[in-house]
Amino acid sequence: LMLILLSSGHRFRDVEHHPLLADNESYDSSSSSSEADMAERVWFIKDGCGMVCAIMTWLLVVYADFVVTFVMLLPSKDFWYSVINGVLFNCLAVLALSSHLRTMLTDPGAVPKGNATKEYMDNLQLKPGEVIYKCPKCCSIKPERAHHCSICKRCIRKMDHHCPWVNNCVGEKNQRFFVLFTMYIALISAHALVLCGFQFFSCVRGQWTECSDFSPPVTVILMIFLCLEGFLFLTFTAVMFGTQIHSICNDETEIERLKSEKPTWERRLRWEGMKSVFGGQPSLLWINPFAGFRIRRLLRGKKGGPEFAV
């Protein structure tokens, strides 16, 4: 927060010069849940484009798994080749989809909506001359490095960008899962391309006899589409993975980089930045999308059912 030494009292700066909530305006405190309550909820954004992109992501992964398993591996006469590659590919696919779910259903760091009230400000115990910022769009006190997302309709702490493929913002609390998602998608894409290369070579050498349980034209079409999908996904996710790691190591979000914002915070560079995002010292937990997952979060609700924060 920014300090203005010339002022003797608290000042509230509105980004777009909108007034504060008036004292006589009703304010529902239940709409501004505490961070602990929000952490226990399943976060889901009801955006049509995002939901379509998320479903497409799952369908493309399922398609790749189908082609790899039923077109290339099961018809193979090499038992161990099929088992090892089948287990490896399916494990990577499960990790990729799990990372996708964690990214999509995890609160990215949303600021409580509508907390910019006089009562809340009085409880902040601000120092004389301290300036706080209010977002006029979601009527919340805007922390440092927070940005408003027009799709999520919330201010997000350390917002990097909004990704339609995961139907969510990438922010302070779910960036780790997004990095894992891009990494595992890149790995299964590379694995699928390698398997396609071996399969084409094997089919050509055997003159397409006993190459697959499908006819040669169908096999070729399925594998060509998988190669195109694998190449596009590998290129996109590899670039995103590198960009995210670079941002984490420099403690700078994509929005801050594009806006050329000068850092007013103490940067956590390289390993310190990695540890702040992935948590603790380097370990296998860094690449585990299930780390910290609690099934009771999905079962907790006012009426015993799932609870969604939108």
User: Cβ distance 187 to 60 under 8 Å?
Assistant: no
Closest CA to 40 of 285, 293, 277, 290: 293
Please provide residue 173's backbone torsions phi and psi, each rounded to the nearest 5 degrees: -100, -10
Tokens of 109: 């760091």
Is residue 245 classed as helix, strand or coil in its secondary structure? Answer: helix
Is residue 163 classed as helix, strand or coil in its secondary structure? Answer: strand
Is residue 78 classed as helix, strand or coil in its secondary structure? Answer: coil
- Beta strands per DSSP E along the chain: 2-3, 11-14, 42-43, 130-135, 140-142, 146-149, 154-157, 161-163, 168-170, 308-309
Please provide residue 280's backbone torsions phi and psi, each rounded to the nearest 5 degrees: 70, -170
CA-derived radius of gyration, the chain = 24
Residues 6+ apart with CB under 8 A from 220: none
Determine the Cα–Cα distance for residues 109 and 146; give it in Å rounded to an integer: 9
Residue 290 DSSP code: T
What is the dihedral angle through the alpha carbons of 251, 252, 254, 257, rounded to the nearest 10 degrees? -160
* Active-site pick, 138, 155, 163, 211: 163
| Catalytic status, residue 49 | no
Known catalytic residues are: 163
